[in-house]
Amino acid sequence: MTDVGDSPSVRRLSAWDAAELQTLVDDYGSPLYVLDLERVRQNYRRLAAAFPDADILYAVKANALGDVLTTLREEGAGLECASAGEVQRALEAGASGSEVHYTAVNPPARDLDWIVDTWREHPDLTVTVGSEDTIDRLADRGYDGRLCLRVNPGIGAGHHEKVQTGAAAKFGVPAERAVDVLADAAGRGFDVVGIHSHVGSGVSSDQLDDHREFVARMGDLARKVSHVVGDLEFVDVGGGFGVPYRTDEEPLDLESVADATREALGEIDARLTIEPGRYFVADAGVLLTDVNTIKAARDTTVVGVDAGMTTLIRPAMYDAYHPIRNLTADLDADEREMIPQTVAGPICESGDVFCADRELPATERGDVLAIGNAGAYGYEMANQYNSRPRPASIILADGDARLARRRETVDDVTRPERETCGGTDADRKTDDHPAASDTDNQRVR
């Protein structure tokens, strides 16, 4: 196993073995997600070395594959879960309640029902709430366990406005109300253990001042809370550590981020907690896709591939840049001309493109392209729009490749409809979680 000191701080798409990736497509088909668990371990160890005094939680929403959760648990990470489904995955990966934080936004009733039932079996589970109303809903269900309050510090950062959460009204209780809310919760019997906030996703080095100001506000708040409620166990400043997607971007200086975080937080009688997601898995994954169509358009050459915005939605949703590499061209003995090309998927949407007019080796039908930095928010955001099945996932571990998630079929897409036809109302309730609680239904009538 490679030590963190021997691993680069960022894995570029060019570092992947073209022949190995081509073989995986030959064996498992396309589109295909590939994730290297050794790289996940390296990324964890690098961050843990920069934050030796912090508790580290993995933000499961970045990539919830069971192998990823197990790997990071083995390295020492806890698991931060945004839904009841992610909590269930965490527990199935062997996590104990003490290793799991449930941090939901406007949680549905069935999620809260399931979480409270699970808490009775795992009383050391931590629930993070972002509104006073959620505290009431937990109390209605008999929950009086470990409670963390998500606060809104009024400052956000990140790679796109849609992921800058720190100042968005949707997230958390305004910081100026946090002390009163926590004092009330403690008076009602909740075990108040921490405060939490998250500035945004994909924070870069040039946003370090925003990060420092955000953490300083959390430190000030922790000291105010301790005077009223008592000492907290932890102050969770979220994750959001960015990774370079473009080849000319430098990797995040983790040492500088760690130093700035500790300095800004100041003296507190609580553990610092961080919860990265993207940082662990983004450059550990690639998406492989077959070229099926070459078309000379008016102003560009369109390269049609079998992956699309249903496979990797980030370019369409966030205008996100992902590096693209022609594996077949790299393996070809003849050097190909570099020409501007637009790589587009099969979805009936003009936004279904991975790049526009990007200089790439002249592509031919049958080539295999690799799309880099696809380990975070790739498969997790995949969908079945246009009735397209989701792709397979391959894990690289201990020198071997194995299937971690099979490719869906159209039968998988249509099965819920076929199983519903002719059934009773009871048959149609196929969720693993309980139906919405009577308590919540009564409250909104």
pLDDT digits (tens, 9 = 90+) for 158-181: 343 434 444 566 778 988 899 999
CATH architecture of 37-279: Alpha-Beta Barrel (3.20)
Please indicate whether residue 148 is annotated as part of the active site: no
Q: Which of 81, 148, 348, 421 is catalytic?
A: 348
Check residue 444 and give its pLDDT.
Answer: 35
Give the Cα separation of 46 and 67 in Å (integer): 20
Please enumerate, by residue number, every residue annotated as part of a binding site for pyridoxal 5'-phosphate.
240, 275-278, 377
Please enumerate, by residue number, every residue annotated as part of a binding site.
240, 275-278, 314, 318, 349, 377
Beta-carbon-side half-sphere exposure of residue 193 (alpha carbons within 13 Å):
17
Handedness of CA 364, 367, 373, 379 (dihedral sign): positive
Residue 177 has phi, psi (to 5 degrees) of -105, -5
What residues contact 179, with CB distance under 8 A and at least 6 apart? 221, 224, 225, 228, 229
Give the Cα separation of 97 and 145 in Å (integer): 12
Residue among 133, 129, 102 nearest 118 (CA): 102
Check residue 440 and give its pLDDT.
Answer: 55
Please state, as a whole number, how many other Cβ atoms lie within 10 Å of the Cβ of residue 26.
10
Cβ atoms of 379 and 390 closer than 8 Å: yes
Check residue 159 and give its pLDDT.
Answer: 41
Cβ atoms of 78 and 101 closer than 8 Å: yes
CA R_g for the chain: 23
Cβ atoms of 105 and 152 closer than 8 Å: no
Could you tell me the residue ranges of all domains in the chain? 37-279
Map tokens 């931590």 to a residue: 126
DSSP 8-state code for residue 252: P
DSSP 8-state code for residue 436: P
Give every residue of the chain whose pLDDT is below 50, as ranges.
1-2, 156-166, 202, 434-438, 441-445
- The tokens for 335 are 């050097």
Torsion angle of alpha carbons 316, 320, 322, 324, nearest 10°? 50
Check residue 438 and give its pLDDT.
Answer: 47
Q: Which amino acid is at 103?
A: T
Give the Cα separation of 192 and 176 in Å (integer): 17
